[in-house]
Structures are given as C-alpha cells and as structure tokens.
A and B are shown apart, each in its own frame.
Chain A
Amino acid sequence: GDSVTQMEGPVTLSEEAFLTINCTYTATGYPSLFWYVQYPGEGLQLLLKATKADDKGSNKGFEATYRKETTSFHLEKGSVQVSDSAVYFCALNTGANSKLTFGKGITLSVRP
C-alpha cells in the first residue's frame, strides 16, 4: 500500500538557519505530493504541492522538488523564522478515492 516516511523529529533551529525536512514515499501509480503545515492551535493548511516528476512546489520561502528516481519530496527553506515553528506533514494522493496518505509529521521549533 501507499506510505509516507518522514525523518524523525523534533527539529530545533536558530532563526535564519537552513531547513531540510526529509520525506520519502511508496506508492502505486504516480502520486501527487503535498506538504501540509499545522501551526500551534490551528488547523491543517496546504503549504505546497507537486503533481508530477521534477515539479517544484514553492510557497512562503519553502520549496520541495518531486524526485521520482529517489521517491522523495524533501522540504527546504533557506532561512527559517520563528513564525515557521509548526508541525509539518508530508502527504501523497494517488487519486484512488482521493485518499490522502500522511507521514507522521515533524515538529519544528525555531529559536530567536
């Protein structure tokens, strides 16, 4: 079945540090890939997405590239801010019943 694996957390960084959060997947067919973010006390929000190989999703300074050869969709940001502190979920959708499969999520804390 479909699955998403995220690196173990939590992650603590200083402001302006470089961020990488790893995500790899297993899926039948050709999935769309997503990063969702959950800020403290808030609901889940779509951060970015990519629908085919080599696509790069980007939003709010975050980027992720759909790498079919390595089945990965790593999230990066060049300079994190305190306001980026949140839980980040990698997810995929193969279109079968539109079901989203999520990774375990990782908590990012950014220190001033």
Chain B
Amino acid sequence: SAVISQKPSRDICQRGTSLTIQCQVDSQVTMMFWYRQQPGQSLTLIATANQGSEATYESGFVIDKFPISRPNLTFSTLTVSNMSPEDSSIYLCSVEGASSGDYNEQFFGPGTRLTVL
C-alpha cells in the first residue's frame, strides 16, 4: 500500500480567495486522483492527474476553478479558486495501488477539510 499525506489537513477561508492543497505519496505512481466529499455526501471524482500531461476533468468540474499540477510521480496539488461557501467540502487525493489483478485498487489520503465563510 501507499502512504499519502495531504496539507493542510483543514482550513477556514474567506469567500473569493483561493487555496492550494498538496498531496505527497511515498512511492512513485502513475495516476493520482482528486475527489470531493461534500457534507453528508459521497465522494465525487474531480479529475485524474497523470505526470507530464494535462489533468482530465470530470463533468461539472473545470480547470479554471480547480487547476491541478502534477510536477513529478510523487506529488500533486489541487487549487480551489475563487471560493464560495458551496466549495466547503473534504478534498481527498488518491493513488492507484500495485496491480493484483485486472483492476487496481486506490489508496486515499487523509483529506483536507475546507470551510469557506
């Protein structure tokens, strides 16, 4: 399994500002994922980030709002731009684990709890 850390663990931000969330993995991985978990809701995939290419965004998420960087195989950042209270969520990064079959399982970071006032 992979060990994943995220910074910050939580933050309280003002409307209209931006926050960058960092995700660090203890091993090199090809694919990293960013999810959002709104209060009382399930996880929704925001985008998939591969090193050396543009992130692939899911329907309803755009690069201007959630720019992602993937500078190397162990690190990624997600920025939540021009925040509003509706962006208050837990943001999680995940990585694919070692293949043990046809499909890879994913390991998740501890999450970043964001509150926008």
Structural contact, A98 and B106, CB atoms closer than 8 A: yes
Q: Which residues of chain B are near A77, meaning CB under 8 Å?
A: none
Structural contact, B31 and A43, CB atoms closer than 8 A: no
Structural contact, A89 and B43, CB atoms closer than 8 A: yes
> B96 on the interface (CB 8 Å rule)?
yes
Q: Which residue of B lies closest to A55 (CB)?
A: B101
Q: If the complex has contacts A97-B56, A99-B48, are A45 and B43 also in contact, measured as CB distance less than 8 A?
A: no
Tally chain A residues at the interface, Cβ within 8 Å: 23
Structural contact, B110 and A42, CB atoms closer than 8 A: yes
Q: Which residues of chain B are near A31, meaning CB under 8 Å?
A: 103
Q: How many A-B residue pairs have CB under 8 A?
A: 60
Question: In the complex, A97→B96 CA distance in Å?
Answer: 11
Contact of A102 among B31, B43, B109 (CB under 8 A): B43
Question: In the complex, A94→B103 CA distance in Å?
Answer: 8
Q: Which residues of chain B are near A42, meaning CB under 8 Å?
A: 110
> B86 on the interface (CB 8 Å rule)?
no
Contacting A at CB under 8 A, from B76-117, are 92, 94, 96, 101-111
Interface centre among A43, A95, A99 (most CB of B within 10 A): A43
Structural contact, B104 and A43, CB atoms closer than 8 A: no
Question: In the complex, A105→B111 CA distance in Å?
Answer: 16
Q: If the complex has contacts A43-B110, A44-B92, A89-B42, are A98 and B104 also in contact, measured as CB distance less than 8 A?
A: yes
Contact of A32 among B44, B94, B102, B108 (CB under 8 A): B102
Structural contact, A44 and B103, CB atoms closer than 8 A: no
Q: Which residues of chain B are near A46, meaning CB under 8 Å?
A: 105-107
Closest CB in chain A relative to B117 CB, distance in Å: 22
> Given A36-B108, A95-B103, A104-B41, 15 more contacts at CB 8 Å?
A32-B102, A32-B105, A34-B105, A42-B110, A43-B109, A43-B110, A44-B43, A49-B105, A51-B101, A89-B42, A93-B103, A98-B103, A100-B94, A102-B43, A102-B44
18 A-B residue contacts at CB 8 Å?
Answer: A31-B103, A32-B101, A32-B102, A36-B108, A43-B108, A45-B108, A89-B43, A93-B103, A93-B105, A98-B96, A98-B104, A99-B48, A100-B45, A100-B94, A100-B106, A102-B42, A102-B44, A104-B41
